[in-house]
């Protein structure tokens, strides 16, 4: 982390877990573990049906509510979709885009990811843009070229003034839900490369100030080491964000309890 130049963000991704009725007990328990002041943004990206509960109960605990997906369209006949305007209307501040699960199970390609990023920015929601390589790509030494492609595609047509509202999350697919975390060196290497790509695209200042998160089996035990890497500015956490005690430990690993 480099707290001088950029925001630290700890974002949970609940995926398709938890009921709306679980939100209040979760927040109540989380609050008991958290320091009063935090220097990181604490975000929970919850299922769409839990957003209103999270907005209501998370506020006191300074939890910023995020969504997990958004439509690439403005409005209309897109049954089941939720638009960026609808998310903004109820108070959603962050939204995950291009998660590898959506890319894999819903054939979400880079064009769609880019369109979603644009819709979110138009509606004043911070996109958390996920990129990451498969195990096969890593083994074939294709990690950096794949990341390079994904970043450039996701940010295609995004102005410098919009970039400052974007967050990037490096999530190696082989580390998601597998318990197999990237080593801190691997996480740092790719997050550093992502910053170098942003530097090439937008210049040194924006590259220095964009927050880049690591995701993939981050937990209470390994968070401190991952977050200690200079180019890792936070985490995108799946499984461990479902357990208040574990999620709180990750938040504390940002050093937030020193305040
Ligand atoms: P896990 O932390 O469960 O590996 O999930 C990571 C993830 O996909 C967050 O978006």
Read off the pLDDT of residues 1-51 as tens digits, 9 standing for 90 and up: 888 889 999 999 999 999 999 999 999 999 999 987 888 999 999 999 999
Residue 241 Cα to ligand 1 middle (Å): 9
Residue 104 lies in a domain: yes
- Nearest atom within ligand 1 for CA of residue 169: 10
Number of domains in the chain: 1
Whole-number pLDDT of residue 88: 98
Ligand 1 atom at shortest distance from the alpha carbon of 178: 4
User: Given 72, 108, 171, 193, which residue is catalytic?
Assistant: 171
Q: Which phi and psi (to 5°) does residue 246 adopt?
A: -70, -45
Alpha carbon of 56 to those of 59, 91, 135, 205: distances in Å?
6, 10, 40, 36
Assess if residue 34 is contained within a domain: yes
- Residue 32 Cα to chain centre, angstroms: 24
Instruction: Give the predicted TM-score (pTM) of the model.
Output: 0.96
CB under 6 Å to ligand 1: residues? 13, 99, 171, 176-177, 215-218, 236-240
Task: Report d(CA 225, CA 154) in Å as an integer.
Answer: 28
Residue 179 CA, closest ligand 1 atom number: 4
**Mean pLDDT (the chain, rounded):** 95
Atom number in ligand 1 closest to CA 240: 2
**Residue of 237, 243, 247, 250 with the most ligand 1 atoms within 8 Å of its CB, for mutation:** 237
| 51 Cα–ligand 1 center, Å | 19
> Does residue 106 lie in a domain region?
yes
More confident residue, 182 or 165: 165
Residues with Cβ within 8 Å of residue 209, at least 6 apart in sequence: 5, 6, 164
Of 72, 99, 101, 193, which is the active-site residue? 99
Q: How confident is the model at residue 180 (pLDDT cuts 50, 70, 90)?
A: confident
Give the residue-averaged pLDDT of 175-202: 94
pLDDT at 105 over 80: yes
Report yes or no on 4 lying in a domain: no
Check: CB of residue 68 under 8 Å from CB of residue 47.
yes
Mean pLDDT value across residues 122-150: 97
- Average pLDDT over every residue of 157-162: 97
pLDDT per residue as tens digits for the range 217-256: 999 999 999 999 999 999 999 999 999 999 999 999 998 5
Catalytic residue check, 136: no
Identify the sign of the CA torsion 70, 75, 81, 86: positive
Does 169 score more than 70 pLDDT?
A: yes
Contact between 211 and 5 under an 8 Å Cβ cutoff? The reply is: no
Query: In the predicted model, what is the mean pLDDT of residues 172-198?
Result: 93
Q: Quick: pLDDT tens for 192-218.
A: 999 999 999 999 999 999 999 999 999
Residue 146 lies in a domain: yes
Q: How far is CA 48 from CA 81, 137, 156, in A?
A: 10, 32, 27
Q: What is the CATH number of the domain that holds 122?
A: 3.20.20.70
203 C-alpha to ligand 1 centroid (Å)? 30
- The C-alpha atoms of residue 24 and residue 59 are separated, in whole angstroms, by 11
Q: Are 131 and 151 in contact (CB under 8 A)?
A: yes
- Locate tokens 């938040």: which residue? 251
> Is 133 labeled as catalytic in the residue annotation?
no
What is the whole-number distance in angstroms between the Cα of residue 250 and the centre of ligand 1? 13
**Residue 217 near residue 178 (C-beta atoms within 8 A):** yes
Would you say residue 259 has pLDDT above 50? no
Cα(45) to centroid of ligand 1, in Å? Answer: 12
Closest CA to 25 of 242, 237, 246: 242
Residue 67 lies in a domain: yes
Residues whose CB falls within 8 Å of the CB of residue 25, separated by 6 or more in sequence, listed in order: none
Q: Determine the pLDDT at residue 255.
A: 85
Q: How large is the angle between the packed helices 143-154 and 184-202, nearest 10 degrees? A: 40
Work out the percent of the chain whose per-residue pLDDT is above 90. 90
Tens digit of each residue's pLDDT (9 = 90 or more) over 114-133: 999 999 999 999 999 999 99
Domain membership flag for residue 16: yes
Q: What are phi and psi of 12, to 5 degrees?
A: -95, 145
Q: Best mutation site among 11, 15, 69, 246 for ligand 1, i.e. most ligand atoms within 8 A of its Cβ?
A: 15
Burial class (CB in 10 A: 0-12, 13-18, 19+), 146: middle
Q: What is the 3-state secondary structure (H, E, C) of 220-257?
A: CCCHHHHHCCCCCCEEEECHHHHCHHHHHHHHHCCCHH
Q: Does position 139 have pLDDT exceeding 90, yes or no?
A: yes
Give the structural domain span for 23.
9-252
pLDDT at 256: 56
Q: Is residue 147 part of a domain?
A: yes
């Amino acid at each position: 982390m480099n707290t001088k130049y950029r925001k630290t963000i700890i974002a949970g991704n609940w995926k398709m877990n938890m009921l709306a009725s679980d939100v209040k007990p979760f927040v109540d328990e989380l609050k008991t573990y958290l320091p009063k002041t935090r220097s990181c943004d604490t975000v929970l990206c919850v299922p769409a049906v839990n957003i209103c509960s999270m907005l209501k109960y998370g506020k006191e605990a300074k939890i910023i509510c995020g969504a997990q997906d958004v439509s690439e369209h403005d409005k209309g006949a897109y049954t089941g979709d939720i638009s960026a305007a609808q998310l903004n209307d109820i108070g959603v501040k962050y939204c995950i885009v291009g998660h590898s699960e959506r890319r894999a199970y819903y054939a979400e390609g880079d064009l769609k990811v880019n369109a979603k990023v644009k819709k979110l920015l138009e509606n004043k929601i911070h996109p958390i843009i996920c990129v990451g390589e498969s195990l096969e790509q890593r083994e074939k030494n294709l990690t950096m070229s794949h990341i390079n492609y994904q970043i450039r595609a996701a940010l295609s047509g995004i102005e410098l003034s919009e970039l400052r509202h974007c967050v990037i999350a490096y999530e190696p697919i082989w580390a998601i839900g597998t318990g197999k975390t990237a080593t801190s060196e691997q996480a740092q290497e790719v997050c550093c490369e992502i910053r170098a790509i942003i530097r090439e695209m937008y210049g040194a200042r924006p590259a220095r100030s964009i927050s880049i998160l690591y995701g993939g089996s981050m937990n209470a035990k390994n968070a401190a080491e991952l977050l200690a890497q200079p180019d890792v500015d936070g985490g995108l956490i799946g499984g461990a964000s479902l357990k208040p005690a574990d999620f709180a430990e990750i938040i504390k690993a940002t050093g937030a309890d020193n305040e």
